[in-house]
Each structure stands twice: as C-alpha cells, then as structure tokens.
Amino acid sequence: MTNTLFCFGERIQCKALAKMLLNRIFSFILTFLLKFCILALLNHFTYYMKKILAFFIALLVADNIFSQSLSATEQKIIAYINTHIKEAELLLKQTVDINSGTLNKEGVRKVGAIFRNEFDKTGFATNWVNLPDSLNRAGHLVATHKGKKGKRLLLIGHLDTVFEPDMAPSPFRILNDSTATGQGVNDMKGGDVIVVMALRALHAQGLLDDASVTVYFTGDEENSGKPSGVSRYDFVERAKNCDIALGFESAAGLHTVATARRGMSDWRLTVTAKTGHSSGVFSKGAGYGAIYEAARILNSFRTELSGEKYLTFNPGVFIGGSEMEFDAKKAAGKAMGKTNIISPAVTVTGDLRFLTEQQKENARNKMRNIVSNSLDGAQASIFFQDGIPAMEPTAGNDSLVKLLDKVTRDLGIGNTQAGDPGSRGAGDISYIAKYVDCIDGLGASGRGAHAPGETMNMKEFPVLIQRAALLIYRLLHGE
Ligand SMILES: [Zn+2]
C-alpha cells in the first residue's frame, strides 16, 4: 500500500517534476521567442526610425539649400505661383476650348481677347496689330510695359494652333494627375499661360515697376501670312528695341532649351525636255526626257548634300508626264502620261532647312550646280524662296542658358543645357534672332505637338511657371 502509495506519490512527484520541467522549457522557449520578437521589432523600429530621421535631415538640408539659393523675394514669387495655380489651369482650359486654327481668324481674336484682358490687369498697355486683308490672317496681340530698369525683354508666344474648325474637336481634358490634352494645350497655349502667370507673380510683388517688357503673341505662327516681310514687320521692328527675347514654344522637359533653330526656305525645280516616241529615249536625237532629268537632279542632291549636319531638303511634290498642271498655292496638280511618250515637263517643290545663312547659301549654290548639268535634250532651273531665317547659335544665347541653369539649380530641379538645334524646326523667334540674344523652349512640356491628342505635363506646369518667373525677375533685376 505504502509502496503503492509511495509509488503513487513517487509517480505524482515524477509527474510534477516532469510537468515543471516541461513548463520551464516551455516558458524558456516562450521568453526566448518573446525576446526575439521584441528585439526584432526594436531592430526594425530603429531601422525605420533611422530612415525617417535620415529623410527629415535630408529634407531640412534640402530646404536649407533651397532657401539659401532663393532670395526672400524669389520665395515670395514661388509662393504666389503655388497659390494661384488653379487660376492658371482655368485660363488654360478657357483658351484651349476656343478653336484658334490659324485660318479661324475669329477664334484667334477670341483667344487674343482673353490674354489681352490678363495683360491689362497686370499693368501692361495692350493693342491688336491688324494685317492687310490680302494676308487673310487674324493679326497679333502686343502688350507693353515701359520702364528703364534691367534688360529690355521680349516674350514670345502665339495664339493660333494647327487645328482648324473642320478637324475633329478635342476640348481640354485632364487624363490623369499628370497629363492634360486638348487642341494647342502644349503648342502653345500652355506656354502663353506660363507667360501670363509669371508676369502676374512679378506684378503682384511690384517687381515689374520701371521694367521694360514687351509680350508678343502672334496670330499666325503655324502658317504665317505671306509675305512674311508684311506679317512680321511690326514684330521685327519691336524686337530691334529689345535686348533679350525669350520664346515660350513647347519645352523639351525641364533640362533643355533651344539656343538655335534651323531656318527654312522653299525651292521649286522646273524641268523641260524634248518629247517624242519612247523607243528613242537615251538616243542623241531624243534625249532622256524630263522625268529622268528630274530624277538625276534629286538623286544628286541626296548623294552630294545629305551628309551635311543640320542640312535637310525634302521634295514634297513631284509631278510630270506628257501633260501636266501644277497649282503652287494649293500644292496640288494633275498629270497624264502614256508609257510610250518621253515626258516633256516636270515640276518638283521642296523645302530646305539649315542652321546658318552661310549653310543655306552654300547648299543653294551646290544645288544650282547640280541643276545646271542637264542630260541631253533637257533643261532645268531651280528657284529658291526665303521662308524663315535660322536662329543661329551665338555666345549671347549661351550666356542665357547659363543664367537659366543657375535658376533651375537654385529651384532644386537640376541643370539646364542647350538642346540639339537639329531637333527643332523654325519658329517666330527666328525672325528676330539676329537682333537680340535669345532662347526658346521655355513653354509647356508635353508630347505630340501638331498631332490630334497632343498632351501637356500638368505636374511640370507649376515648375515651368516658376522657372520663367525667376528668369524674367533676374534679367530685370540686374543678374
Ligand atoms: Zn508653336
């Protein structure tokens, strides 16, 4: 019994001991796990704490650098733009929603009236430059602010777009938090609004007092009234009284501006030749005909001139046959030709783009030479017409990039450099580039200019207004 009891007792003791032991092991494992978890949490906590601290330090340092680089006045300009950005978006929507295709004169004038009202409120004297009826263009908006302080600035925009009323409408729409679309949103109503808002920000701080600023928004940039000597007369005359021109055509992102743009001219090649039965072609008596001669000329243009940097030339229409008509105004024609007749006539029209006047003249001389070496039985002549001059790269233009580079660095958005002149076509700024130092591409950023569905980057929009405002401010206030 005792034994049994003892045994029982022993068993109990044994069981209790075993239980205690198990409890100890269990509690040891639990404590270990708990400690492990706490340590892990603490570890992560310190890791995240470190990250958060590093972030705040970086923020403080950046803020310190930012506020050190921008003066108190400049910070006020930035603050003004940030608090008025909704007004900029509204103005953009309002102007994009009015069709202002170059030939829609009423639409161009309506858009002009909206911007005119903005400049009137900003202390500018405004007027509308009318063009002769024969040019069939709406005219231009000019806003002037007279003063004697700092550089005399010319700010350039345009009111028209490539979208005429007979094309499918595309009103202003926000596609997502960083993109908007609409006709002319990027080229270049966005740029026009940047000019308005930058000047408003300066005007609000009294920073335009005694400043000389001319804003010129042309009404026919996309398809200028001809002759350009008439449609651009007033524009060129006003530019002669300025020191610096800033073009607000589409920006190529935040880091590139244009210090040069290629110029453009047109040419027309006319070929005549003996005609006759096709069986005689290539013979001394019958010759080669006009189509072979025109083909020879174009191919020689390509082989002899196409390797030159910044020089391009593109035939747009090639029309020939035994009978043909060509209407230069419509860039259209009709042709008829039987395969057994040697063609007596060809007309080709094309463009020529160049970076300097010298390059243009050299190319024209080489082309004239090629044209004069006619095949048997054919004669050819080429006629050149000046279009838009080149905006040539100059040291003065480069110094403006340096100034803008300082602005963008001080704004904390990085550096600015000159873009590839080959990447941009001719623009209004080219007409006046030889009279002033100038840069272009200070407008809105986006994609697909001239194509339906063109977009504008709405996140970069406020930054580009700030960039423009600070550049104008520093030019006016002696930097
Ligand atoms: Zn444009």
Q: CATH code at 284?
A: 3.30.70.360
- Ligand 1 center to 188 CA (angstroms): 5
- Ligand 1 center to 25 CA (angstroms): 80
- Ligand 1 center to 431 CA (angstroms): 14
pLDDT tens per residue across span 48-93: 565 555 555 555 444 444 545 999 999 999 999 999 999 999 999 9
- Ligand 1 center to 370 CA (angstroms): 35
- Ligand 1 center to 109 CA (angstroms): 17
pLDDT for position 424: 79
- Ligand 1 center to 427 CA (angstroms): 7
pLDDT for position 173: 97
Which among 388, 403, 423 is the end of a domain?
388
Question: What range does the domain containing 373 cover?
Answer: 263-388
Average pLDDT estimate for 431-451: 95
How many Å apart are CA 408 and CA 466, to the nearest integer? 9
pLDDT for position 274: 97
* Beta carbons of 290 and 274 less than 8 angstroms apart: no
For residue 318, the cross-strand partners are: 348
- pLDDT bucket at 331, cuts 50 / 70 / 90: confident
pLDDT for position 25: 54
Average pLDDT estimate for 337-366: 97
Position with higher pLDDT, 442 vs 253: 442
- Ligand 1 center to 96 CA (angstroms): 14
For residue 336, the cross-strand partners are: 323
- Ligand 1 center to 203 CA (angstroms): 26
**Same structural domain for residues 128 and 240?**
yes
Q: What is the pTM of this model?
A: 0.78
- Ligand 1 center to 308 CA (angstroms): 27
Three-class SS of residue 50?
helix
Average pLDDT estimate for 231-251: 98
What's the chain's average pLDDT?
90
Count up the domains in the chain and report the number.
2
> Residue 302: what residue type?
R
Q: Does the pLDDT of residue 286 top 90, yes or no? A: yes
**Same structural domain for residues 122 and 178?**
yes
- pLDDT bucket at 423, cuts 50 / 70 / 90: confident
Q: Strand order of the sheet with strand 437-439?
A: 125-129, 140-145, 211-218, 149-158, 244-247, 437-439
How many Å apart are CA 312 and CA 306, to the nearest integer? 7
- Ligand 1 center to 250 CA (angstroms): 7
> Residue 404: what residue type?
L
Specify the CATH number for the domain of residue 239: 3.40.630.10
Q: What is the DSSP letter of 114?
A: H
pLDDT for position 329: 83
How many Å apart are CA 286 and CA 468, to the nearest integer? 65
**Same structural domain for residues 210 and 80?**
yes
- Ligand 1 center to 413 CA (angstroms): 25
Q: Is residue 446, in this structure, part of any structural domain at all?
A: yes
**Same structural domain for residues 243 and 190?**
yes
pLDDT tens per residue across span 253-276: 999 999 999 999 999 999 999 999
- Ligand 1 center to 441 CA (angstroms): 10
Q: Is residue 7, in this structure, part of any structural domain at all?
A: no
Rounded (5°) CA angle 456-466-420:
60
Q: Is residue 118, in this structure, part of any structural domain at all?
A: yes
Which among 388, 419, 439 is the end of a domain?
388
Q: Is residue 50, in this structure, part of any structural domain at all?
A: no
Percent of the chain with pLDDT over 90: 81
**Same structural domain for residues 133 and 143?**
yes
* Beta carbons of 195 and 120 less than 8 angstroms apart: no
Q: Is residue 35, in this structure, part of any structural domain at all?
A: no
pLDDT for position 422: 84
The residue whose two tokens read 């966005």 is 190
- Ligand 1 center to 158 CA (angstroms): 7
- Ligand 1 center to 164 CA (angstroms): 15
CA distances from 87 to 81, 194, 200, 210 (A): 10, 11, 11, 26
**Same structural domain for residues 155 and 257?**
yes
- Ligand 1 center to 386 CA (angstroms): 20
